[in-house]
């Protein structure tokens, strides 16, 4: 079924510009459930914006079932079918409980070290399952793969989201993901152009600067983008990064030399150029809420993602056309590319009552398990004989936001409990320092640490390290499991007795916990 | 629309007995999300049981959206329309996020102290909204109202779930709830017969004994049941309680003198007699997994709720008929009563895509807010001037199971944070005792404590009291908010300086937090 798209010239300027805007919305069904009222509009406002003719929405929050109902609600309001995007880099289940949740891409790059062919197969399956499940809940645009080369272990924002640490690993895996997704009428997006892998500042918080030479950029950062473009990726997302050698004034998202000069002209990309979220601080507070959308369009963007004020963004871009700053042709070119994308995805209607048959199917879960098993690192002496009177100490960034992977029923909690362990929990809100004395019981330490886009994970790492040291010094560290960042593993293990069991998993989801604990206890 | 029900005599004995069984199932869509695999069957097994002809299901877990999809899935498998039950004593939102979540019934009894008429209006609206929302997600049997008289403050299982502490308060409020629900084709159930209000043992854990005289039972415990029956309540649920003056051998659930002698014959109840969950320890481990369903039917029950082994229960009851222990007529009478109930609810099909327009509507939320405001207790000096460098210490029973009312976006966390407070969290898994010294900062203490069916709240109460004492002694207790049990308020306030602000709310949900904090800070 092909989406019925009107003749572009039959649209007013404002209608054309509205098609370039993708608005943030939440996947919950009720206004009372909106987690970020300052950024996510009420249902009535969303209906107004969709009826006004915005080009699409991006979903955050809600379960897969809620999302399936909500995407159809939004499409039912739209005269022109909506792009429906989501940041599902690790599968639908990463964001929307009920879908399949894959290990982060870097898990696959770990497998590629020994078996590149198998790793590419996993990446392709991951792309295919993610696309099939996206479609089942009404998502038609996967904002993935991340093709950044994570060559800086201190990177707080990319980290395990990358398909590797070198372009020669990233490119084939990202291509395989794209290839897998291409079997379905779902769009993909390579991000974050020209490469966000070598930064230590998070652009959600401030504007990072990349001081590399054009030659280095071509060798490392640009290579996976070239390769993704050759593979036919549908969109490229810009980074909020200052690339000094190309543009000393504007970050990539707002830079004509970068989006048009490099991406469109030099790399010859003919698909959608989409900005990263315009509400992010690196852009919104520096360049102005409604000025930054204008700058982005001037720079060459086709899609303005998550402007803080969608109506204001449309008005500002229209005004810029009226006063000659942006040409009508420039707008029309973007809408043509949007039409091309919308034709590819069609106007498929979904049946929410079918999602139980389409998501989290046994083969999908089996693939996740294989990836987790093959990428898991095991050191020290396993299996461990459980200690019925021991402690199971879990350190997690934020207990108030961990329910997707940590509940009473999660293996990390339930399995040691069934063996007699007492559960202890710490997070950034725990009122005490772990350096105080504890009683003398063997302790299984489970750390859930990975980069967090909205805060450095330094604090949490420190809490984890303090606990680790306390337990190591008292001789009570029975075993260590790290879920998330391989860089934490590298920090901690040199101090450890080689005999103490230590497991590292890239995943944090319940399946990852099962895989790790079964090895630890040989359950 | 009337449900099409076959002629009872056209059913085999096994088919008739199967109609008496209501099986526990989870509201999530995927087997991987089942929280209690030992008690909740996979989707394939559920399909098998429904196709076998069980009479109904009871749902635990999942969001309102998931439930709406899942109830229709179950009904689509059933030849005879299913009873679909849920323990939504405080509205659909209590169990299934997305629906309206009312304050516990005891909040309304608090209002009745000064304005019985207004309280009855609230109870009736609560019944009506709960019924309308239940219907919208496919639930046709509300396992409420609780008509127990909570005349024992140490009661770990009823507590704030009761509509009051005396029969003269409970009866009119429970009747009003029933009346509100009766406007919809949804069943109700008065529970737990003959009255669970005066126990200190939780029957989820062990078998409580009630040593009262028949006269006292008639005066206190039975009065609200008589009154609910007169109001036309559709079902009465039995308690797992030993009532020594009536039956020294069997608890009410399995007692013929109680279910048939008292409830059916003396009180003249002609509706459904439903057991409380047969898998509860007080029954399952004492009287046998498959023997207890037989005893319950012998005693007079029409519906066997949550037997541990549904197939085994059906077989055991059939066997008891075959060997003459139970008459065929006895089974037929139950099925007739079940048919009567199924005729009342009809075979309504729902449209899950409409639930956004039917749940959590503004008028419903406004009613909840009024109940919260009118039942809230405020002492000490408010409003309080916020202390930007203070601590906001939240004590909750279990952070791993609190996400329904406590996330980063919940007012109890977000509002003090926006005023500069540092969030601290403690629960039963926090590794330290609160009696250690803290630094000298003013602290807002928020306790979330109410009775928990599966464990006494003694531990948590002690943690809360320890914190309270530590802060009081150091002079750092800036304000106290208790969400949940009024009995904790009574325990703590005598020690407090009259000037220190203290707020008590019956509710724990985000709306209750907003109401309390707005009074505290005059926001």
pLDDT one-digit tens code per residue, A479-517: 999 999 888 888 888 889 889 999 999 999 999 999 999
CA–CA min distance A31, chain B (Å): 9
- Measured between beta carbons, the chain B residues lying within 8 angstroms of A63 are 63, 65-66
Report the distance separating Cα B248 and Cα B227, nearest Å.
27
Instruction: Tell me whether residues A431 and B407 touch, CB distance under 8 A.
Output: no
Report the distance separating Cα A240 and Cα B274, nearest Å.
62
From B64, B391, B399, residue closest to A425, measured CB to CB: B399
A26: left (phi over 0), alpha (psi -120 to 50) or beta: beta
CB contacts under 8 A, A 486-515 vs B, are 510-511
Q: Answer for the pair B269, B239: CB distance below 8 angstroms, yes or no.
A: no
Catalytic option among B204, B240, B302, B427? B204
Q: Is A445 helix (H, G, I), strand (E, B) or coil?
A: strand
- Measured between beta carbons, the chain A residues lying within 8 angstroms of B510 are 32
What are the helix and strand counts (H, E) for chain B?
A: 19, 16
Instruction: State whether the Cα torsion B149-B151-B156-B161 is positive or negative.
Output: positive
Residues in chain A: 523
Q: pTM of the full predicted structure?
A: 0.94
Residue of A nearest to B398 (CA): A408
CA–CA min distance A363, chain B (Å): 13
Q: Which residues contact A128 (CB under 8 A, 6 or more apart)?
A: A180, A181, A183, A184
Assigned token pair, B187: 């069943």
In Å, what is the CA distance from B121 to each residue of B88, B257, B412? Answer: 19, 37, 29
Residue B476 phi/psi, 5° resolution? -100, 0
- Measured between beta carbons, the chain A residues lying within 8 angstroms of B445 are none
B66 touches chain A (CB under 8 A): yes
What pLDDT, on a 0 to 100 scale, did the predictor assign at position B454? 46
Average pLDDT over residues B496-503: 93
Catalytic option among A87, A148, A192, A204? A204
CA angle B220, B223, B224 (to 5 degrees): 110
CB contacts under 8 A, A 83-102 vs B, are 97-98
Tell which of B35, B65, B68 to mutate to test the A interface (max A CBs under 10 Å): B65
Report the distance separating Cα A383 and Cα A406, nearest Å.
24
B204 is catalytic: yes
Give B26's pLDDT tier (boundaries 50, 70, 90). Answer: very high
Q: Answer for the pair B423, B394: CB distance below 8 angstroms, yes or no.
A: yes
CB contacts under 8 A, A 423-452 vs B, are 423-427, 429-432, 434, 436, 438
- Helical (H) or strand (E) element with B312: helix B310-322
CB contacts under 8 A, B 319-358 vs A, are 352-353, 355-356
- Does A2 score more than 60 pLDDT? no
The mean pLDDT value of chain A amounts to 93
Residue B425 phi/psi, 5° resolution? -130, 135
What pLDDT, on a 0 to 100 scale, did the predictor assign at position B92? 98
Report the distance separating Cα B1 and Cα B19, nearest Å.
21
Q: Among candidates A128, A27, A160, which has minimal Cα distance to A86?
A: A27
Residue B330 phi/psi, 5° resolution? -55, -45
User: A235-238 and A272-274 as β-strands: parallel, antiparallel, unpaired?
Assistant: parallel
The single residue listed with the structure tokens 């009535």 is A44
Residues A230-273 pLDDT 10s: 999 999 999 999 999 999 999 999 999 999 999 999 999 999 99
| Helix/strand/coil percentages in chain B, nearest 5 | 45, 15, 40
From A359, A400, A431, residue closest to B408, measured CB to CB: A400
B276 is catalytic: yes
Instruction: Tell me whether residues A400 and B391 touch, CB distance under 8 A.
Output: no
The number of angstroms, rounded, from the C-alpha of A355 to the middle of its chain's C-alpha atoms is: 22
Instruction: State whether the Cα torsion A200-A205-A211-A213 is positive or negative.
Output: positive
Residues A99-144 pLDDT 10s: 999 999 999 999 999 999 999 999 999 999 999 999 999 999 999 9
What pLDDT, on a 0 to 100 scale, did the predictor assign at position A329? 98
Peptide bond into B102 cis (omega under 30): no
- Does A439 score more than 70 pLDDT? no
Instruction: Tell me whether residues B425 and A429 touch, CB distance under 8 A.
Output: yes
DSSP for residue A457: S
A408 touches chain B (CB under 8 A): yes
Q: Among candidates B196, B136, B191, B146, which has minimal Cα distance to B170?
A: B146
**How many residue contacts between A and B have a Cβ separation below 8 Å?**
143
pLDDT > 90 in chain A, percent: 79
Q: Which residues contact B383 (CB under 8 A, 6 or more apart)?
A: B519, B520, B521, B522
Q: Is A192 helix (H, G, I), strand (E, B) or coil?
A: strand
The number of angstroms, rounded, from the C-alpha of B10 to the middle of its chain's C-alpha atoms is: 37
- Helical (H) or strand (E) element with A392: strand A391-396
Report the distance separating Cα A239 and Cα A148, nearest Å.
10
DSSP for residue B79: S
Residues B269-303 pLDDT 10s: 999 999 999 998 889 889 999 999 999 999 999 99
- CA atoms within 13 Å, Cβ hemisphere of A277: 23
Q: What is the dihedral of CA A455, A457, A458, A462, to 10 degrees?
A: 140
Peptide bond into B374 cis (omega under 30): no
Instruction: Tell me whether residues A431 and B69 touch, CB distance under 8 A.
Output: no
Give A437's pLDDT tier (boundaries 50, 70, 90). Answer: low
How many Cβ atoms from other residues are within 10 Å of residue B216's Cβ? 14
């Amino acid at each position: 079924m092909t989406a019925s798209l009107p003749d572009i010239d039959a649209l007013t300027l404002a209608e054309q510009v509205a098609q370039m805007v993708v608005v943030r919305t939440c996947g919950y069904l009720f206004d009372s459930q909106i987690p970020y009222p300052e950024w996510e509009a009420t249902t009535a406002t969303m209906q107004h914006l969709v009826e006004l003719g915005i080009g699409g929405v991006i979903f955050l929050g809600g379960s897969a079932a809620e999302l399936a109902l909500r995407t159809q609600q939004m499409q039912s309001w739209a005269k022109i079918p909506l792009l429906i995007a989501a940041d599902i880099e690790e599968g639908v289940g990463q964001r929307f409980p009920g879908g399949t949740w894959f290990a982060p891409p870097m898990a696959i790059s770990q497998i590629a070290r020994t078996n590149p062919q198998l790793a590419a197969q996993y990446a392709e399956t991951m792309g295919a399952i993610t696309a099939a499940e996206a479609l089942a809940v009404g998502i038609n645009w996967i904002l993935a793969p991340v093709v950044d080369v994570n060559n800086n272990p201190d990177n707080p924002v990319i980290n395990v989201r990358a398909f590797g640490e070198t372009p020669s690993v990233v490119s084939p895996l990202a291509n395989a993901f794209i290839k897998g997704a291409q079997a379905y009428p779902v769009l993909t997006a390579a991000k974050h152009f020209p490469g966000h892998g070598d930064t230590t500042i998070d652009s959600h918080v401030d504007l990072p600067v990349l001081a590399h030479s054009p030659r280095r950029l071509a060798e490392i950062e640009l290579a996976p983008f070239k390769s993704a473009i050759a593979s036919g990726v549908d969109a490229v997302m810009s980074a909020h990064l200052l690339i000094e050698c190309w543009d000393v004034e504007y970050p990539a998202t707002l830079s004509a030399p970068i989006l048009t000069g490099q991406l469109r002209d030099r790399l010859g990309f003919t698909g959608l150029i989409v900005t990263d979220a315009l509400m992010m601080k690196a852009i919104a507070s520096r360049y102005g809420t409604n000025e930054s959308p204008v700058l982005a369009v001037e720079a060459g963007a086709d899609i303005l993602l998550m402007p803080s004020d969608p109506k204001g963004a449309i008005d500002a871009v229209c005004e810029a056309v009226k006063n000659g700053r942006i040409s009508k042709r420039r707008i029309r070119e973007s809408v043509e590319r949007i039409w091309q994308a919308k034709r590819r995805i069609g106007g498929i209607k979904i049946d929410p009552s079918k999602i139980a048959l389409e998501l989290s199917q046994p083969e999908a879960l089996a693939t996740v398990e294989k990836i987790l098993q093959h990428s898991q690192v095991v050191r020290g002496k396993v299996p461990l004989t459980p200690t019925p009177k021991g402690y199971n100490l879990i350190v997690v960034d934020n207990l108030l936001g961990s329910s997707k992977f940590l509940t009473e029923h999660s293996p990390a909690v339930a399995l040691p409990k069934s063996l007699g362990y007492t559960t202890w929990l710490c997070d950034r809100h725990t009122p005490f320092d772990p350096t105080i004395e504890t009683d003398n019981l063997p302790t299984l330490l489970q750390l859930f640490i990975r980069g967090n886009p909205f805060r450095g994970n330094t604090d949490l790492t420190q809490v984890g390290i303090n606990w680790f040291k306390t337990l190591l010094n008292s001789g009570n560290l029975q075993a260590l499991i790290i879920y998330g960042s391989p860089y934490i593993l590298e920090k901690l293990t040199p101090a450890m007795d080689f005999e103490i069991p230590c497991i590292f998993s890239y995943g944090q989801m319940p399946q990852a916990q099962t895989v790790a604990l079964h090895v630890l206890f040989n359950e």
